[in-house]
């Protein structure tokens, strides 16, 4: 009952409300991005896997420069490409706000397993793939229990635990834990600076070692 009817309705209601309240923040962020790097779009779009394995485009505020090389042709690291305010966007999860539109479109939920790139799809185990039984979320059980600081296996165990235990009370708990994490500014890692490698690379390395 909750998962099929109540949760989707609450998602849309809260997403609309948050968009109205936070629209000044989103618009101001658009201005900051365009001012620093006018050559690129304000939104970053990437194909992700959603409920039932269906793919969709996830929206995020762009936090990195478009150019991947400097004036001498040398490749820039992710840290070097980070926009002046990009780190702040990520620490406060402001870059995730456009995903409220994904919720209104029906692609995502407020709470659920995070949507991951489609390139990861062939590498899930049967049990890990159960994370796609629900709509992906802006925040989830794995995100409030370590985010980038836990292993891929640990994340997926928590995702499946959420799938098996989903309830209104559980979602409220995760929502409050998310708010605490945002204000605590914890578990935020710039891609490329994390000890975690991309999941498909990780699984290939595991296979090569076995």
pLDDT tens for each residue of 76-130: 888 888 888 888 888 888 999 999 999 999 999 999 999 999 999 999 999 999 9
Q: Tell me how many domains the chain contains.
A: 1
Structure confidence at residue 210 as a pLDDT band (50, 70, 90): low
| Range of the structural domain that residue 99 is part of | 2-209
Rounded average pLDDT over 22-27: 95
Task: Indicate if the pLDDT at residue 187 is higher than 80.
Answer: no
Among 112, 103, 86, 106, CA closest to 19: 103
In the chain, what are the helix, strand and coil shares in percent, each to the nearest 5? 55, 10, 30
pTM here is 0.87
**Distances, alpha carbon 71 to alpha carbons 37, 74, 76, 86, 154, in Å:** 15, 7, 10, 21, 41
Q: What span, in angstroms and rounded, lies between the C-alpha atoms of 165 and 121?
A: 23
Tokens linked to 26: 């989103």
Q: Does residue 188 have a pLDDT over 60?
A: no
Helix (H) or strand (E) holding 181: helix 168-184
Tally helices (H) and strands (E) across the chain.
Answer: 7, 4
């Amino acid at each position: 009952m909750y998962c099929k009817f109540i949760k989707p309705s609450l998602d849309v209601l809260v997403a609309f409300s948050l968009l109205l309240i936070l629209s000044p923040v989103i618009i101001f962020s658009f201005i900051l991005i365009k001012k620093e790097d006018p050559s690129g779009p304000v939104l970053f779009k990437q194909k992700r896997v959603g409920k039932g394995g269906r793919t969709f485009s996830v929206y995020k505020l762009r936090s990195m420069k478009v150019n991947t090389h400097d004036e001498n042709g040398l490749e820039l690291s992710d840290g070097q490409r980070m926009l002046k305010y990009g780190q702040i966007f990520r620490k406060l999860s402001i870059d995730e706000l456009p995903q409220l539109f994904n919720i209104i479109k029906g692609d995502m939920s407020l709470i659920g397993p995070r949507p991951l790139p489609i390139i990861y799809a062939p590498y899930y185990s049967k049990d890990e793939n159960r994370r796609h039984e629900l709509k992906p979320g802006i925040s989830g059980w794995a995100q409030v229990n370590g985010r980038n600081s836990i292993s891929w296996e640990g994340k997926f165990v928590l995702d499946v635990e959420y799938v098996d235990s989903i309830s209104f009370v559980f979602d409220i708990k995760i929502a409050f834990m998310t708010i605490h994490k945002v204000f605590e500014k914890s578990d935020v890692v710039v891609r490329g600076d994390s000890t975690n490698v991309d999941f498909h690379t990780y699984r290939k390395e595991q296979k090569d070692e076995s």
